[in-house]
Amino acid sequence: MDIIYLHGLKIPTTIGLFPWERQIKQTVVFDLDMAGDIEKAAATDRIEDTIDYKAIAKRIIEFVGGSDFQLVETLAEAVAKIVIEEFQVRWVRLRVNKAGAIRDARDVGVIIERGHQG
């Protein structure tokens, strides 16, 4: 299994439980590791034969920027579903970092792994 990754994708969004969080945009940071087979793309040198991380980034930015979740867990599940279903990625490890959520912590968030059903 080969891994294609997209790390450090920063997106401002509305996220959080507290009333003050519902009034502002906060930046969440995404790291994605996606299973793929790069052998065909390496042979053909064609984007159509691999995971198009630029297209995935664009879609995630669009979705997350317009989203309005309370929990990073819900946001992570929704993004993983997009990656798997819309881009036919077999497996994704997704880290969502909500930096600044805890005053004395560098960052906080979730890491999930999801695979294609079937």
Clarify whether 98 is annotated catalytic.
Answer: yes
Candidates 90, 100, 87, 92; CA nearest to 28 is: 100
HSE-up (13 A, CA, CB side) for residue 5: 10
Catalytic residue among 10, 25, 40, 98: 98
Take residue 36 and report the two structure tokens written for it: 């793929």
Alpha helices in the chain (DSSP H): 39-44, 53-65, 72-87
Active-site amino acid positions:
98
